[in-house]
Structure 1
């Protein structure tokens, strides 16, 4: 579990710093990306998203068990005031993010995995 949280931290830091090489290093080549605009797959789409999203995420809490991690994050976007709370689900295997989803509620994130309130990392 601790290794998976470390991978989640590396992934988030890489996105925040626009470190495409660093994010790809901890992302499966066929990473599945689930977001408000639908589902996409692969490094090419991930690279494009990192370049264009302008997102910065600050992780507030983690829920983790097995291969799954949900990050509770304060998100801001370039050229926008304020922030929103997002819930980022990651399925991490062998040190790489295989599946990632961004959700507007914790319940929606939990609906994509086996995690629950009991899995909050203290």
Structure 2
């Protein structure tokens, strides 16, 4: 399996397990996190998000180009009913996740990342 996908898979698994230490080990110290509530950076913000988000992610499909990955994921949250489909973008450099962004639409993820349907694996 591609090393970038392995890192993104491990990152997702550790988020699902609320393994803060594991997520931080896979993330650059200045990791950028973007989502519906804005953009933040650093291990402290990432640790807080892992602790408080209550998110569970199931990857449905993967797109990859160079060190960039987009995951189509089914997401659910603790204490909330229902599931949504979202798109998680990961930028991996030197074995660490340096950027994570959440998108509600695949086209938005493609536009922000420069990726396309051709990158489906």
Using the size of structure 2 for normalisation, the TM-score is 0.98
**TM-superposed deviation, 1:80:** 1.1
Unaligned runs of 5+ in 2: none
Name the counterpart of 1:109.
109
The whole-number CA distance in structure 1 between the counterparts of 2:19 and 2:86 is: 21
- Please give the root-mean-square deviation of Cα atoms over the aligned residues, in Å: 0.9
Name the counterpart of 2:75.
75
The whole-number CA distance in structure 2 between the counterparts of 1:89 and 1:111 is: 11
1:42-79 Cα offsets, whole Å, 9 max, x none, are 00000000010000000000000101000000000001
The whole-number CA distance in structure 1 between the counterparts of 2:29 and 2:113 is: 21
Name the counterpart of 1:39.
39
Name the counterpart of 2:19.
19
1:21-52 Cα offsets, whole Å, 9 max, x none, are 11001100000001001110000000000010
Q: What is the 5 A alignment of 1:88-107? A: 88-107=88-107
Moved over 6 A (4+): none
**TM-superposed deviation, 1:6:** 0.3
The whole-number CA distance in structure 2 between the counterparts of 1:92 and 1:110 is: 16
1:83-103 Cα offsets, whole Å, 9 max, x none, are 000100000011110011000
Figure out how many residues of one structure are paired with residues of the other and give that number.
121
The whole-number CA distance in structure 1 between the counterparts of 2:118 and 2:27 is: 27
